[in-house]
Chain A
Amino acid sequence: MAEPLLFEMSRPERKGVPVPQSDVPEQALPAELCRDSLPLPEVAERDVVKHFTRLSQLNYGIDLGLYPLGSCTMKYNPRINEDAARQPGFAMIHPYQPAETVQGALELLYELQGYLAEISGFDAVTLQPAAGAHGELTGILVVRAYHESRGDSARTKVIVPDSAHGTNPATAAMAGYQVITVPSNARGNVDLEALRKVVGPDTAAMMITNPNTLGLYDEGASELVEIIHEAGGLVYNDGANFNAILGIVKPGEIGFDIMHYNVHKTFSTPHGGGGPGAGPVGVKAHLARFLPTPTVVKDETDAGPTYRLEPVPDSIGKLHAFWGNFGVLVRAYTYIIANGDTGLRAVSEHAVLNANYIRAKLSDVYAVPIDRINMHECLLSGSRQKKLGVRTLDIAKRLIDKGFYPPTVYFPLIIDEALLIEPTETETVETLDSFIAAMREIAREAEEQPEEVKSAPHHTPVRRLDEATAARRPNLRWQPPEQAAD
């Protein structure tokens, strides 16, 4: 059953909170600032609590079940992270406190800069950016600062593969660069011949995701880096899929110059709630002087180490107030030390194993567009089902009936009827098996009773939403019935 809006529950004069009598003299507001009516919902506290509790029960989150949203790494958020972030020494401090009173917090930031650098093979890390896309912008501003510092102003283009996350071209365009797209080849790697044709003295950088959004490790990564470096450009690694290679590959060692980390993906901080988040950025030594300012440094003294903030000399500036979303960084730090080096490697090994298990168990009923061992996510296609009149969107909606959050659909854009499935390492084999069984059942339904799939979901409070009308004629806020009729 759909939950009514608070506005629909409103009754005249009903109140949630008794407002105390004013004990200060009343001041009249200027007439032009006053209005005759303010149609806020009038509801009792009891009803508000029931309303939001019911809404929370309708929600589907990572704590309820599998959330195989490809390219998003919706892994379980260990509770120890929350415990650490709630320690009063972390939770109750203020950014204006003198550095000597927050040594523990600064030590944590310093250590985290070092851990991220070590895990990824970079030399310096900023923790300021508030999310992955913010990290991308940071990285591309560093690219610009680097070229400008060399008096090299002719570099106007950023190259992205056609499998890129949409944020890559958006970031490049936002930083004022022209975006050049290069195709992928039949094995899902960047087409290096096509790349050679577009690189030149106007190439500022190439942004690539490795493993890429097809869930595949780019076999030409090292050669790609050489091609860009030879042309004088920098290579930016989008770390969205870092969860596949922890403890196995260090992107810095392949030759990438810059990389961002999605701590909400790889390092298990909360995800999808609209923030706060963090998207730290790592760079090679020659780019460290451009990072956002300040950075945390360690001084060895006779009394032991002390930590302080230090300005970055040729910084692109500040990207976030103070030094980023500290509480999120505490969670990422906790995850890293709770797992340790062998634990982080096991994270990636299990993430890759789980995704390959799903592909292997479904490849006889769903098309596999690129037949390779995949990394942490597997790419299937609903192209066989499409011939039966059942589209990938229908398959996704039917999965909701079976109790699962659907995978990413229609992305990457270069794959027809794409289904991008990322189970993560945190699911048991029993959960994977029940997801596989549901996907197989849907494949059978598509053949035997396609209407059942095409009209899904059947067991949800609201049925299939009219996304087209919602996008064409968005109704973004509630209005009183008499105004809505206008």
Chain B
Amino acid sequence: MSQLPTDRRYTKEHEWIKIEGDIATVGITEFAQSELGDVTYVEVPKVGEQLSQGQAFGVVESVKAVSDIYAPVAGEVVEVNDSLADEPETVNASPYEGAWMVKLRLAGPADSPDLLSADEYEQHIAAGGH
């Protein structure tokens, strides 16, 4: 496993979440993209949608499988990455930067016991967490 960015938190479902002020940016991890293989389609929600924590808000489809993406925290969708519709391969090439999926305005505290640190997430993967 390559080094995970430490400026963000992770979920057991393989999303990452980066919090700046009251805005949370969400995407999927390097491990998730490597397990999925070549991504062929990404579906993101509409701006203005209210998401509850753990709600499935989008879909990533690859040559192998279709997976839901879950909201790591509750919030309102304020921006979505429209470029993924035309260039889903960005998810494979740049999961942590270019392929951010949504930006949420936090509805509550940014901290949740379900969010993992980079170290904890690495251990979760090493333990065979799928």
Contact = CB atoms under 8 A, between A and B. Distances in A.
Interface in B54-76: 61, 63-65
B38 interface: yes
A471 B40 contact: yes
B65 A467 contact: no
A468 B130 contact: no
Contacts of B39: 468
A472 interface: yes
A468 B40 contact: yes
B56 to A, nearest CB: 11
B89 A471 contact: no
Interface in A360-410: 393, 410
Contacts, number: 24
Interface string A190-201: 000000000000
Task: Pick from A413, A416, A472 the residue with the most CB of B within 10 Å.
Answer: A472
Interface string B68-103: 000000000000000000001100000000000000
Contact of A413 (B38, B41, B65, B89): B65
Main secondary structure of the interface of B (DSSP, over half): loop
Interface in B95-124: none
Nearest to B89: A472
In which size bucket is the chain A interface? under 10
Contacts of A472: 40-41, 88-89
A414 interface: yes
Contacts of B41: 471-472
Contacts of B89: 468, 472
B130 A467 contact: no
Contacts of B61: 471
Contact of A416 (B37, B40, B88, B130): B130
Interface string A65-109: 000000000000000000000000000000000000000000000
B130 A410 contact: no
B90 to A, nearest CB: 11
Given A414-B130, A416-B130, A468 B64 contact: no
Nearest to B86: A472
In which size bucket is the chain B interface? 10 to 19
B93 to A, nearest CB: 12
A416 B64 CA distance: 11
B40 A410 contact: no
A413 B65 CA distance: 8
A410 B61 CA distance: 14
Interface string A405-443: 000001001101000000000000000000000000000
B13 to A, nearest CB: 13
A410 B64 CA distance: 7
A413 B37 CA distance: 13
A467 B63 CA distance: 7
A393 B65 CA distance: 13
B63 A468 contact: yes
Contacts of A468: 37-40, 63, 89
B1 to A, nearest CB: 14
A214 to B, nearest CB: 15
Contacts of A416: 130
A416 B37 CA distance: 13
Nearest to A391: B37
B60 to A, nearest CB: 12
A188 to B, nearest CB: 15
A416 B36 CA distance: 11
A354 B89 CA distance: 41
Contacts of A471: 38, 40-41, 61, 63
B23 to A, nearest CB: 30
Interface in A451-469: 467-468
A422 to B, nearest CB: 19
A472 B63 CA distance: 10
Contacts of B64: 393, 410
A37 to B, nearest CB: 32
Nearest to A474: B40
A393 B35 CA distance: 12
A471 B39 CA distance: 9
Nearest to A472: B40
23 contacts: A393-B37, A393-B64, A410-B64, A410-B65, A413-B65, A414-B130, A416-B130, A467-B38, A467-B63, A468-B37, A468-B38, A468-B39, A468-B40, A468-B63, A468-B89, A471-B38, A471-B40, A471-B41, A471-B61, A472-B40, A472-B41, A472-B88, A472-B89
Given A468-B63, A471-B41, A472-B40, 12 more contacts: A393-B64, A410-B64, A410-B65, A413-B65, A414-B130, A416-B130, A468-B39, A468-B89, A471-B38, A471-B40, A471-B63, A472-B89
